[in-house]
Amino acid sequence: MVRRIVMTFRQAGVFPIVVVSEGGDKELRRQLAGLGVIFLRIGADADLFGFAKAGLSFLAGKCEKAVFSPVNVPAFTSATLGALMRTPAAVACPSLEGRSGHPVVIAREAMDEVLSYHGPDGLRGALATLGDRRAWVSVGDRGVVTSVRDEQDLLSLVPQHNCALIHPAIHLELEGETPFLDDRCKLLLYLIDGTHNIRVCCELTATSYSKAWGMINHLEDVLGYAVVERHHGGRDGGGTLLTERGRQLLGAYLELECAVRERAQAEFDRLFVRTGLL
């Protein structure tokens, strides 16, 4: 079910994607290998709001909007997620026939307020404090209110959701004789810019230390200029920062990726959806 949610996030162009889980998540990491996911661990006694706060704390200050969905609500569509992300509100929540559901989209302006809530009502209480700054977005997507506890209802949605997941999957690579900048390298550069610590980046992405440096070294060899600044020493391996050109490279790659995705989706709609082939 986690993989289904991650695929929906990717289809909607969400980046970065953060998966918060309890310790001992080797199987989960195996299932999501290659999907460009950031892994955060949390204590086994955490409640739903604890999971939400862990992810939101990591994303605060790094993005304009954050999307939260619990693992037990896996069948909402990327079209629903896109509608929520386009809603100009501090928080956008889906509503199906008067029932609230998931995912929830939280704008940068509201993240600190949600994180500072310590009342008894968890995520529901934190969102309620925003009053009329929270928007309810009416949708026709039953997936927003169907959880794994509703087994038969969820199973009935799977064929429809599988169809909704069909899209032109763009795996962008820059290459010369060999590829040198792809999804994994993009995520590594993004995390270096935020953490300044290559070992932390490796832990967050389930990447070996040698593999991470191999990607960076190959990238710099092809480009002919430094992408990171290395500060050796220290228990954690010293500091690692993106150079100015490294930041420009990452920004350009993200912009190209977005443009390619949008064009591919437009052509997909023209060639497959409007013709009734899919």
Integer Cα distance of 148 and 174 in angstroms: 40
Query: Domain 2-164's class?
Result: alpha beta
| pTM attached to this predicted model | 0.90
Per mean pLDDT, which range of 14-28, 89-103, 229-243 is the poorest? 229-243
Contact status, residue 257 vs residue 170, Cβ threshold 8 Å: yes
pLDDT, residue 29, reads 84
167-211 confidence digits (pLDDT tens): 998 889 999 999 999 999 999 999 999 999 999 999 999 899 999
**Cβ atoms within 10 Å, residue 34:** 8
Sign of the four-CA dihedral 256, 258, 262, 268:
positive
Could you state, in order of their start, the residue ranges of all structural domains in the chain?
Answer: 2-164, 174-256
- Using CA atoms, how far residue 223 sits from 91, 177, 178, 220, 245, in Å, is 41, 12, 12, 5, 11
pLDDT, residue 232, reads 73
Quote the mean pLDDT of the chain: 93
50-84 confidence digits (pLDDT tens): 999 999 999 998 999 999 999 999 999 999 999 99
Instruction: Indicate the helix (H) or strand (E) that contains 191.
Output: helix 183-195
- 174-256: CATH architecture: Orthogonal Bundle (1.10)
pLDDT, residue 246, reads 97
Determine the average pLDDT of the residues in 127-149.
95
Instruction: Indicate the helix (H) or strand (E) that contains 241.
Output: strand 239-242
